[in-house]
Structure 1
């Protein structure tokens, strides 16, 4: 299965506290590098102004002082100089969006997740502070809301109530060091852009194309898996959820190899998973167990469709084209493996039915033998499904979806060539005059070979217009 990049964005309501946490050697067990484009004064002033603006707006919820990106890096990055990696990634963001940043490069406790924390400001420093001087006394109530008269903030004895503020004439009643927030950072297109940019930057330093990461495409046949964060109390729940998603993804691979159209798989995914999950969420809220059962039912529906569609592959075209024959052999290999998996999948329910029929206290050995056989069969199915994409990777294709798309295109090229050749032979045969044969030339095999080579190269080197699993890894 293709590896996907993981880039996640979150809102920060306490930017100074978060900076202290990610950059502290005392609080981080595996901290390799830190980098700042602005000093502590910048972040203190930013937090203060964000809180002031939030108070004035009287908006419910929490004030957002800054935002944070978490960027997961492949294992090969542990061999690079940490400070240089961190500075490259941070400066790339700063150049693109012209905002100040603080970043840190970490490993998790088990050293299985090498990643960057990148905090950035949504506001920029003004060239000159915007200072407003009061031309008359200015009054604010306890909530920070500006009122018209002093009477509105005094008690019955005429004293200013506690928590209210009076700015005298000539005093500074409002001061801005920063611009307003850049709304672009709130948008989905911004996060999509960041994911593409950072995925390209990560891949730029990986020499092996087969190790390149891809941005997950939500419109693909696959379901994304979720990242399990440090000390996440729902880790077991997310792990079970990810297992269900991976089962669907493997079944989708089987469906492609079995000849089911990609559009049909997408239709099942949309109707049986997305739409049903959306309906249940609206009525019941998010229930992980319910979502897993929805994915399980969709997987069973797809498996039934695979059984019904388990037809023999199209006859091999006997043509002198080494490129297409190579692809055909690869296709036959994965289809043979798919048939083996289907055979085992058909065998498992039969064994379970046999086990259910064995009753009585004197048949414990027989039951134990069947239970072991069932467990071995299910383990073998899981291992074979997991290894299925590796057959294609050895020939340069990143996953089943890319190979099948490339194969279908190549097959169409060869079919077209066959039709042209048949038409040529028909015209030559129908022509009674020998000289007329010279008017018709058979379609050039060389041009077909060129098309096949181009399609293979595209399939093997495809960067991805589809599919993270952000969730991306």
Structure 2
């Protein structure tokens, strides 16, 4: 992409030379519009290819505007101070140079990465629900054991005590089964452990974030239109000059009549 933009800059330089932009001015422009900005960008952000691309795009847009200015003012008069005489506003297109799709390639797809993250999140949600179930069972057993201690201190509650002990024993068996299920869930999906799933999810989320950033970079190679207006500098003077010429013609005509 950057090679394409460098080529476009060189092409615009050639066109600028053909519309009489001085070589010295173009050298200065490259230094100010590209070199100095790139140097500052590296100092502030390090080597970021995307920023270099944007700098080139803006520089080419600026040079395109300069070429347009030179063409539009090619036949303008120069006043006694050496300044260009503009009797109308000039609107220059400084939009950063777009990158054709065949150069930047197709927009990166994230379908595969999104599917992977979604799959792992579903497994993780299943694990979390199972853990919540285990936690609820543990709390229930603790509560029942407290009740059992109270029943043991009472007289003539042997039957109630036995029933409660059996219930606790049954619940503990179900708790062990729930814990075994928790351990088996990763293996059902081809993973050795919960830690492996978490690491895999972290890796998948990073891959997805990388692709999404590439999508953002791809999208932002298209810029909004940028225009600069060069205001007329002699509109009032021209009108005044026309009135003056008209008055002179009227005086001249009157003198001819008086003769």
TM-score, reference length from structure 1:
0.22
Higher helix share goes to which structure?
2
Q: Which has the larger radius of gyration?
A: 2
Higher relative contact order (CA 8 A, sep 6+): 2
TM-score, reference length from structure 2:
0.38
